[in-house]
Amino acid sequence: MPQVLTVILLSLLTGFIVGLLFTALKLPLPAPNAIAGIMGILGIYLGHLAWPYITKLFS
């Protein structure tokens, strides 16, 4: 479990640094607006969960 937490914290830190750099350089953030980004991540996760059921259905 600690390794997962380390990856999560490093991801958060990396995103924070990228946000700082883009803002300091006055560039647009390389991310969709909040709702679209959350829906995209949710869709990817749901697709990941659905794949085993879909393959079982067609095999």
pLDDT value at position 1? Answer: 63
Q: Residue 17 and residue 33: Cα distance in Å, rounded?
A: 18
Return the closest-CA partner of residue 16 out of 26, 28, 29, 5. 29
Asked if 24 contacts 16 with a C-beta cutoff of 8 angstroms, the reply is no
pLDDT value at position 33? Answer: 80
pLDDT value at position 2? Answer: 86
Asked if 57 contacts 45 with a C-beta cutoff of 8 angstroms, the reply is no
Chain-centroid distance of CA 6 in Å reads 16
Residues of the chain with pLDDT under 50: none
